[in-house]
A and B are shown apart, each in its own frame.
Chain A
Amino acid sequence: MKFRFQRKYLALPYLAFLLLFVVLPIILIVYYAFSDSTGRLSIWPLQNFFSDTDKLEVLVISLIFGFINTVLCLLIGYPVSMLLANKKYNKNIVLVMLFIMPMWINFVIRTWATRDLLAWMNLSGGKYPELATIIGLVYNYLPFAIMPLYTTMLKMDKSQIEAASDLGANPVQVFFKVIIPMTKPGVLSATTMVFMPTISSYVIADILGEGKVTLFGKYIELYYKSDWNNGSFLALIMLVLIGVTSLVSRKFTREDNTQVRSSIW
């Protein structure tokens, strides 16, 4: 029988790539996470993680930072995106791109510049390490929130809004009962794009917190320099955590969304 080239075979290189360089490394990490320095299987890193409260504390703190950063980015990003998507306030795409352009300038440079600026405003990491870190995080991740929100709001069905106000709803009701549900996929997308990188990033916290704010990502790096087993276990924890968050957010979408969440925006 002649070999029929089916279109789905086009995905083979991609599949091979993913298996080799995404799945396999994770298996290796799992191996290291459950072995000790001699290579034998052991649950020592597991015990170490739960017996040493520092690691848990740092993890919880990272989650809190992630949460706060996400909330702030949404609080600022949502109205900005609404205004940008509304023809009344913004006629062309230039303004939107301006919000995204800082991403072109290397974030390491931007973060060190922010450090100087904060010091000049007397908000330096020396005095307020956590505040400085949060400011830096919001500054860096705001575009990540604006992008999906803006895209979703562009596609909003304006006629539903008009219909709602025609039916007698006041602006507040319109906002909460019509606009917010319609932008849910955007909000979810924005949350994902901000929350997950935040809990795993550490460079910004390190620079702006003057070395005093140590997030989980930094911990992983710290341990990796000398102790692969503990480091791998921490990495695994991070992976599991992120996986769980992603599953939970996916459940949310499926529950009340008929639209297939088919894009990243």
Chain B
Amino acid sequence: MVKKHRGLAQIIIGRAFILFVLLLMYAPIIVLMIFSFTESTNVGTWEGFSLQLYVDLFKNKEIMQALFNTLMVALTSGVVATILGTLGAIGTFYMSRKGKKIMEGMTQIPIINAEVVIAISLAVLIVAVGAKFNFLTLLLGHVVLTVAFVYLSVKPKLMQMDPSIYEAALDLGATPSHAMRRVIFPEILPGIISGFMLSVTLSLDDYIITAFLRDNSFETISTYVQGVIAKSSIPPALRALTTVIFLIALLVLFVNNWKQKQEEKMKVFHTKGKVTNQ
């Protein structure tokens, strides 16, 4: 009897702790969201409920442009990084031990390197060859930043894969490229997807590399905020943006969760009779 009570108390304390930390983490965001419903210039003064900021947000050409730019860079660099990183991971997987070591060593560099150093070293390179700074240089910077992470997302999937299925496919008559596409690729797909997501996430939030490598007219949300922090602690319209992003993220989360629940139901359905340990 006592054990059960202690168990319950533990659960409550545990849950409370998680919620407490979560609350602390969301405090600034919640403040922003609350004050996105009022028009005052500064956070802290409440000027009555109003949705004006949301209207301003969508009418604000600069913010919308910066938002668009941010997404563009993130998605494009994500695609490029994913392609490069995936191919790199697959290729390296089939290298000699020495080759592997070299590749892994080089891969570690952008991960552990300070963003400032990456940004500056690339800027130095670009100036040295006399190129101009434009969207391509920015893209380059983001790919350098994220490609290694894609590599490291795909690699464990390769290692978890049963190496003999490739040989088996060849034995069964598949051409190497067929085997690659139809057998290996699906096995590592979860790694590719998580690598892509990681790359996009890192890109979206980036400030330093963007600041150093962009064409001067090209603003992302990070550079826009840092540049415009003049008008207010946070440009009022951005408070509305925070709420919008949060709601979208929440939506994605719940959709994903719901999908997973559906899949799980299907799994149980398909393995009727077998006891699955979830």
| Touch A–B, Cβ below 8 Å | yes
Given A90-B18, A235-B117, A242-B112, are A9 and B156 neighbors across the interface (CB < 8 Å)?
no
B238 touching A246, Cβ below 8 Å: no
B155 touching A17, Cβ below 8 Å: no
A157 CB, min distance to chain B CBs, angstroms: 13
A125 contacts partner chain B, Cβ-Cβ < 8 Å: no
Q: Which of B52-60, B102-110, B268-276 contacts A (4 or more CB under 8 A)?
A: B102-110
**Complex CA distance for A95 and B114, rounded to whole angstroms:** 31
**Complex CA distance for A220 and B115, rounded to whole angstroms:** 11
Given A14-B147, A22-B109, A263-B156, are A200 and B22 neighbors across the interface (CB < 8 Å)?
no
B125 CB, min distance to chain A CBs, angstroms: 5
Residues of B within 8 Å of A211, CB to CB, are none
Label chain B's interface by main secondary structure. Answer: helix
Given A17-B84, A202-B116, A242-B113, are A262 and B94 neighbors across the interface (CB < 8 Å)?
no
B94 touching A8, Cβ below 8 Å: yes
**Complex CA distance for A80 and B14, rounded to whole angstroms:** 9
B25 contacts partner chain A, Cβ-Cβ < 8 Å: yes
**Complex CA distance for A24 and B128, rounded to whole angstroms:** 11
Given A8-B91, A25-B121, are A263 and B155 neighbors across the interface (CB < 8 Å)?
yes
Which of chain A's residues has its CB closest to B220's CB?
A106
A93 contacts partner chain B, Cβ-Cβ < 8 Å: yes
B114 touching A113, Cβ below 8 Å: no
B117 touching A11, Cβ below 8 Å: no
**Complex CA distance for A231 and B117, rounded to whole angstroms:** 10
Label chain A's interface by main secondary structure. Answer: helix
Q: Which of B90, B111, B201, B257 contacts A11 (CB 8 A)?
A: B90
Q: Which of B88, B120, B205 contacts A14 (CB 8 A)?
A: B88
B121 touching A108, Cβ below 8 Å: no
Which of chain A's residues has its CB closest to B96's CB?
A8
B205 touching A103, Cβ below 8 Å: yes
Count of B residues near A, CB < 8 Å? 88
B43 touching A17, Cβ below 8 Å: no
A114 touching B28, Cβ below 8 Å: yes
Sorting the interface of chain A by its residue count into under 10, 10 to 19, 20 to 34 or 35 or more gives 35 or more
Given A14-B87, A21-B144, A92-B257, are A29 and B120 neighbors across the interface (CB < 8 Å)?
yes
Given A83-B17, A200-B116, are A99 and B22 neighbors across the interface (CB < 8 Å)?
yes
**Complex CA distance for A239 and B233, rounded to whole angstroms:** 34
A107 contacts partner chain B, Cβ-Cβ < 8 Å: yes
Q: Which of A48-56, A115-123, A126-134, A160-168 contacts B (4 or more CB under 8 A)?
A: A115-123
Residues of A within 8 Å of B95, CB to CB, are 8, 11
Residues of B within 8 Å of A43, CB to CB, are none
B94 touching A6, Cβ below 8 Å: yes
Q: Which of A5, A95, A107 contacts B18 (CB 8 A)?
A: A95
Kindly name the residue among A28, A90, A113, A192 whose own CB sees the greatest number of chain B CB atoms within 10 A: A113
**Complex CA distance for A248 and B80, rounded to whole angstroms:** 32
**C-beta contact mask, A14-39 vs B, less than 8 Å → 1, else 0?**
11011101111110110010000000
A99 touching B152, Cβ below 8 Å: no
B234 touching A109, Cβ below 8 Å: yes
B173 contacts partner chain A, Cβ-Cβ < 8 Å: no
**Complex CA distance for A28 and B31, rounded to whole angstroms:** 45
A246 touching B112, Cβ below 8 Å: yes
Q: Which of A103, A217, A239 contacts B201 (CB 8 A)?
A: A103
Kindly name the residue among A94, A200, A264 whose own CB sees the greatest number of chain B CB atoms within 10 A: A264
Given A11-B103, A79-B17, A80-B18, are A262 and B155 neighbors across the interface (CB < 8 Å)?
yes
Residues of A within 8 Å of B38, CB to CB, are none
B207 touching A142, Cβ below 8 Å: no
Which of chain A's residues has its CB closest to B152's CB?
A264
Q: Which of B15, B27, B114, B260 contacts A89 (CB 8 A)?
A: B15
Q: Which of B24, B113, B204, B250 contacts A239 (CB 8 A)?
A: B113
Which of chain B's residues has its CB closest to A241's CB?
B114
Given contact pairs A25-B122, A29-B117, A95-B18, enumerate 8 new A-B contacts (beta carbons under 8 Å). A19-B106, A29-B121, A116-B31, A120-B44, A200-B116, A201-B114, A224-B120, A239-B113
Q: Give B residues with C-beta under 8 Å from A.
A: 7, 10-11, 14-15, 17-18, 21-22, 24-29, 31-32, 43-44, 84-85, 87-95, 99, 103, 106-118, 120-122, 124-125, 128, 140, 143-144, 147, 149, 151-153, 155-156, 159, 176, 180, 201, 204-205, 207-208, 221-222, 225-226, 229, 233-234, 238, 241-242, 245-246, 249-250, 253-254, 256-257, 260
A-B contacts, 15 of them at CB < 8 A, read A11-B87, A13-B88, A25-B118, A26-B109, A32-B124, A94-B254, A95-B18, A97-B253, A102-B25, A109-B225, A113-B31, A139-B25, A196-B112, A235-B120, A239-B117
